[in-house]
Amino acid sequence: MTITTAFTELVGCPHPIQNAGMGTASPALGAAVARAGALGMISGALLSPETLENILDDIDDISPGCLGANFLIPFLEDRSVIDIAAGHCRVVEFFYGDPNEDLVRQVHDGNALAAWQVGSLGEAKAAVDAGCDFIIVQGFEAGGHVRGTVSLLPLLTKILDEVSLPVVAAGGIAGASGLAAVLAAGAGAARLGTRFVATPESGYHPQYIQNLVDATDEDTVYTDRFSVMWPDAPHRVLKKSLETAENCRDEIVGQATLYAEKIDIPRFSVMCPFVGTSGNIEAMAQYAGQSAGSVDSVKPAAEIVAELVQGAERLLDEHMSANL
């Protein structure tokens, strides 16, 4: 089954779905999403050019979908990583900084599509002016780091009225009904992060995944407490992780090995727990959006993509039939 939109036609993948480029998620997640026919994203945050190139070289056979790389502006120190990403990926995406035409031009010089995730109408217009090929509109419901303060549907409809580029909707979407809703509103695709945390391919710590599966829609909180390494960047996490961190008195709550480098994890660090992390897992940032209550099981990424597409197509067909 396929749902054709301006996004799928531009990017060249069969399904109007993108996984969020989550910071410490395994590159295996993006590869699995791409192989399922969607736009699979990996994160380039904190990666050296050599590490990023090795990761991308190791990813092959991603058809029928496409691969993209995400960069966080506050951590973008060596711009050669953009050239590497553009040389390997269909999409290079930026987040958490003012849209920059020089960065967009660099992506285009590498023959990749440039995208920007935005949290306001003004930022969306700036992304258009910078030459982006499409934008991701992030609503306040989103997990992880949150750029804006407006819920997804009001922000999405406002931007769709003003912007002619393909738009991807992000924030609070975890199932087929959410995908169908944003497509019916005019978006070209949906971007999901929280749902893809609970996959075998995500690489996140089993305790974090289980806490997410056990959570309800009311078990997340918007805060700026996990700000070590990244100040003044509000985010949404599971309440349990915030409460545990606040009651903890240890300055170092754990350790992890990230691309062969052993690192300490300070209390209130931006780092979230992944496989191989040790220590007080409950006191680490466990990012989750307001769709957390809809995540009730761990499933392979390909199964999630298939359920999303099949369910959304059925709902959209029923909606069209009811209005004939």
3-state secondary structure 246-311: HHCCCCEEEEEEECCEEEEEECCECCCCECCCEECHHHCCCECCCCHHHCCCCCCHHHHHHHHHHH
For residue 60, what pLDDT is reported?
Answer: 86
- Give the helix/strand (H/E) hosting 114: strand 113-118
pLDDT in tens, 41-85: 999 998 999 999 999 999 988 999 999 999 999 999 999 999 999
For residue 160, what pLDDT is reported?
Answer: 98
For residue 259, what pLDDT is reported?
Answer: 78
Numbered ranges of CATH 3.20.20.70 in the chain: 6-200+296-322
Question: Strands 91-95, 66-72: parallel, antiparallel or unpaired by DSSP?
Answer: parallel
pLDDT category at 297 given cuts 50, 70, 90 is very high
- The residue-averaged pLDDT of 15-30 equals 96
What are the start-end ranges of the H helices in 92-217? 101-109, 121-129, 152-162, 176-185, 194-197, 206-214
Residue 60 CA to residue 63 CA, distance in Å, equals 9
Q: Is residue 323 over pLDDT 80? A: no
Tell me what percent of the residues of the chain surpass a pLDDT of 70: 98
Tell me what percent of the residues of the chain surpass a pLDDT of 90: 94
Q: Is residue 28 over pLDDT 70? A: yes
Residue 241: count other Cβ atoms within 10 Å of its Cβ: 26
The pair of three-digit structure tokens given for residue 78, joined into one six-digit string = 């060596």
Q: Is residue 1 over pLDDT 80? A: no
Q: Is residue 322 over pLDDT 60? A: yes
Amino acid at 102: D
pLDDT in tens, 230-288: 999 999 999 999 999 999 999 999 999 887 789 999 999 999 999 999 999 999 999 99
Region of residue 5 (phi > 0: left; psi between -120 and 50: alpha; otherwise: beta): beta
pLDDT in tens, 184-224: 999 999 999 999 999 999 999 999 999 999 999 999 999 99
- The residue-averaged pLDDT of 165-189 equals 98
For residue 203, what pLDDT is reported?
Answer: 97
For residue 302, what pLDDT is reported?
Answer: 98
Look at the domain 6-200+296-322 and name its fold: TIM Barrel (3.20.20)
pTM above 0.85, yes or no: yes
Are the beta carbons of 296 and 278 closer than 8 angstroms? Answer: no
Residue 164 CA to residue 150 CA, distance in Å, equals 20
Q: Is residue 324 over pLDDT 60? A: no
